[in-house]
């Protein structure tokens, strides 16, 4: 009877936590973040293209890697987005409902994972609750980011892997979500194989006792990696890497030479101490350790405006002591899963340490949010158990912890919904939708539509918000796209022209001079057009700064 009541209470509590997680991710999801960014419209349009034609924007049939802007997006996020777009249409909600669902499911399966780890529903409940209200996780599951999709698959894989120690068939099932995670996000390409190798080393005795299952699972994994291996061998995988890697940083060699020039050491020591290898190791370690600073974790978080609400840590400050307590207890109790959890945490930061942009980075390291919530939940549970033996201390600790958490949570919500969208709408490419609505209403009135690419990828926003037929786009005789600086640029399609307005040969008057007799619509930023021209539409960022201006040149 008591077990039945306890089970019902647990179920109700879990439902409430999952519901809370859903509300925090679903509420105003099309308004905050204030606009789809260029990755979201690319993901949405490619999913739409697959839905309608079975091919991506480049005409490739059911690709494993999507060329997109030239960075070759991984497939899971795009294919996962198809149902949302099929049901709700090619719009903000159709794109963002998928990460919301993934985020909520991650909260649910974190409960199952933690319960399997510690065989305690209370610790599992607290860890799920913390993920539900996590600024780190909320931010990246309200917009369509590949990284949040990978978190779900790794959590699911880890849960099945742990269940495999009781029932070996789950080991085979765990291979599937781990494989899917690798095809979800670039960081997971490194993290997941490293984690699997580490798990094998740690638990090899038990795994090898079931040699047939091990061989079968390994075979499935190797076969599943064939498309990825062929992609890497082809050289296409280097496109994204060259944009972010330490060694491809333009200033990499210069800094090595500068370090040699500044040293007073005799020859040949400068070359031995200051070279590409040592500098790479130094930057790698510096990047890695930057993700463990109090500033990143508890005070200001990541600097990238899309990835995090500024001025708030990735974790709540009250979590800090409980994380330490949880880690200490994990090893003092010699918990069987201590190395799994700590390996998970420390391996997360390996891929990002090899990059140079936006360090520390919340997007590429969101997988770390999972072990941090687990450590916090374990630490809170053990601290409560300790203080309960001392009169009043237990309740005092709970009161202080809950009050601190609620204050921080309230501050985060206020920042996220009231301040963040206003201050950082520019970072989310705000304004494209409003411009596209004007273009759609007046499309037939013009011979040429000139759309500045000052804010990035106007062609994709045009395709997305105008719901452009993918087949018509691919086969358009005016389609003109080229590659430069490891990126794909679309210069023209249909009656659209996407120049860098203001560059040599692309000033307002230059374009008029080479399009005599045409009625032209111009879309650009402030300063692109003569002051005496009437503005047909002005779009401001939410902070009041000018985003777009639209003018026209009538045919003569």
User: 152 with 192: CB under 8 angstroms?
Assistant: no
Asked whether residue 239 carries a pLDDT value surpassing 60, the answer given is: no
- Cα gap 129→144, rounded to integer Å: 22
Per-residue pLDDT band for 390 (boundaries 50, 70, 90) equals confident
Of the chain, the percentage scoring pLDDT greater than 90 comes to 80
Structure tokens at 194: 């490293």
Contact 373, 127 (CB under 8 A): yes
What integer pLDDT is reported at residue 483 of this predicted model?
84
Q: How confident is the model at residue 9 (pLDDT cuts 50, 70, 90)?
A: confident
CA distance 252 to 21: 43
d(CA 312, CA 274): 37
Give the pLDDT mean for 28-57.
Answer: 97
Q: How many other CB atoms are there within 10 angstroms of residue 204's CB atom?
A: 11
Gap between the Cα atoms of 420 and 422, Å rounded? 6
Contact 244, 356 (CB under 8 A): yes
What is the pLDDT at residue 257? 66
The residues spanned by each domain of the chain are 428-553
**Residues 110-149: tens digit of each pLDDT:** 999 999 999 999 999 999 999 999 999 999 999 999 999 9
Tell me what the mean pLDDT of segment 432-460 comes to.
97
Sign of the torsion angle spanned by Cα atoms 262, 264, 268, 272: negative
Nearest CA among 142, 153, 186, 152 for reference residue 357: 186
Using alpha carbons, select from 176, 112, 17 the residue that is nearest to residue 370: 112
Q: Looking at residue 504, what DSSP letter applies?
A: T
For residue range 257-300, list pLDDT tens digits in order: 676 666 766 777 666 666 777 778 888 999 999 999 999 999 99
Q: Read off the pLDDT of each residue in 54-79 and give the average, rounded to a whole number.
A: 95
Higher per-residue pLDDT: 494 or 236: 494
Higher pLDDT, 179 or 397: 179
DSSP string, 384-423: HHHHTTSTTHHHHHHHHHHHHHHHHHHHHHHIIIIIHHHH
Q: Could you tell me where the beta strands, DSSP code E, fall in 90-198? A: none
Query: Is residue 242 very low, low, confident or very high in pLDDT (cuts 50, 70, 90)?
Result: low
Task: Output the average pLDDT for the chain.
Answer: 92
Residue 235, pLDDT score: 67
CB atoms within 10 A of CB 168: 16
Q: How confident is the model at residue 459 (pLDDT cuts 50, 70, 90)?
A: very high
User: pTM, whole model, 2 decimals?
Assistant: 0.93
Res 53: pLDDT = 98
Contact between 381 and 126 (Cβ < 8 Å): yes
Asked whether the beta carbons of 376 and 322 are under 8 A apart, the reply is yes
50 within 8 A of 82, measured Cβ to Cβ: yes
- pLDDT value of residue 245: 72
Q: What share of the chain is helix, strand, coil (3-state, %, to 5)?
A: 60, 5, 30
Whether pLDDT at 388 is above 90? no
pLDDT at 231: 83
Q: Helices 393-414 & 369-387, crossing angle to 10 degrees?
A: 150
> CB-based contacts of 459: which residues, under 8 Å, 6+ apart?
451, 453, 490, 493, 496, 498
Distance separating alpha carbons of residues 343 and 201, to the nearest angstrom: 11
Q: What CA dihedral angle connects 7, 13, 18 and 23, to 10 degrees? A: 150
pLDDT of residue 341: 98
**Cβ(395)–Cβ(341) under 8 Å?**
no
Check whether 98 has a pLDDT greater than 80: yes
């Amino acid at each position: 009877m008591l077990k039945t009541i306890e089970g019902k209470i647990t179920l109700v509590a879990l439902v409430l936590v999952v519901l809370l997680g859903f509300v925090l991710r679903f509420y105003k999801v099309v308004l905050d973040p204030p606009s789809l960014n260029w990755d979201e419209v690319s993901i949405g349009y490619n999913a739409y293209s697959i839905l309608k034609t079975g091919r991506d924007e480049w005409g490739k049939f059911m690709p494993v890697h999507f060329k997109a802007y030239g960075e070759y997006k991984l497939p899971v996020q795009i294919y996962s987005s198809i149902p949302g777009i099929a049901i709700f249409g090619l719009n903000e909600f159709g794109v963002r409902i998928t990460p919301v669902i993934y985020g909520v499911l991650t909260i649910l399966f974190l409960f199952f994972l933690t319960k399997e780890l510690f065989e305690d529903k209370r610790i599992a409940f607290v860890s799920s609750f913390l993920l539900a209200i996590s600024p780190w996780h909320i931010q990246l599951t309200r917009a369509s980011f590949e990284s949040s999709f990978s978190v779900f698959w790794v959590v699911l894989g880890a849960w099945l892997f742990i269940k495999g120690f009781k029932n070996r068939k789950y080991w085979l099932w765990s291979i599937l979500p781990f494989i899917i995670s690798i095809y979800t996000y670039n960081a997971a390409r490194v993290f997941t194989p490293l984690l699997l190798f580490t798990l094998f080393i740690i638990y090899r005795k038990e795994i090898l006792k079931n040699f047939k299952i091990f061989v079968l699972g390994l075979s499935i994994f190797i076969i599943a990696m064939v498309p990825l291996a062929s992609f890497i061998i082809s050289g296409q995988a280097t496109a994204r890497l060259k944009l972010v890697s330490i060694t491809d940083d333009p200033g990499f060699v210069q800094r090595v030479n500068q370090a040699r020039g500044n040293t007073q050491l005799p020859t040949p020591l400068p070359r031995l101490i200051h070279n590409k290898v040592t500098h790479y190791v130094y930057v790698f370690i510096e990047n890695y350790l930057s993700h463990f600073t109090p500033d990143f974790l508890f005070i200001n978080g990541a600097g990238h405006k899309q990835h995090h609400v500024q001025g708030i840590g990735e974790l709540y400050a009250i979590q800090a002591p409980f994380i330490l307590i949880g880690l200490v207890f994990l090893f003092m109790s010699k918990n069987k899963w201590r190395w799994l959890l700590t390996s998970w945490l420390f391996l997360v930061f390996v891929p990002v340490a090899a990059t140079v942009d936006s360090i520390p980075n919340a997007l590429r390291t969101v997988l770390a949010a999972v072990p941090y919530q687990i450590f916090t939940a374990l630490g809170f549970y053990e601290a409560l158990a300790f203080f309960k033996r001392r009169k009043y201390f237990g309740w005092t600790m709970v009161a202080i912890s809950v009050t601190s958490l609620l204050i921080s949570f309230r501050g985060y919500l206020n920042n996220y919904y009231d301040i963040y969208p206003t201050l950082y709408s520019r970072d989310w490419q705000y304004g494209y939708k409003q411009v596209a609505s004007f273009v759609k209403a007046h499309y037939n009135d013009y011979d040429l539509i000139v759309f500045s690419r000052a804010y990035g990828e106007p062609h994709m926003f045009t395709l997305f918000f105008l719901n452009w037929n993918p087949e018509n786009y691919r086969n358009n005789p005016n389609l003109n796209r080229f590659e430069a600086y490891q990126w794909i640029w679309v210069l023209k399609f249909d009656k659209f022209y996407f120049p860098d307005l203001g560059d040599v040969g692309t000033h307002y008057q230059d374009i008029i001079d080479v399009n005599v007799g045409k009625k032209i619509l111009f879309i650009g930023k402030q300063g692109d057009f003569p002051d005496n021209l009437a503005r047909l539409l002005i779009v401001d960022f939410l902070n009041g700064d000018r985003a777009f201006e639209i003018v026209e040149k009538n045919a003569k």
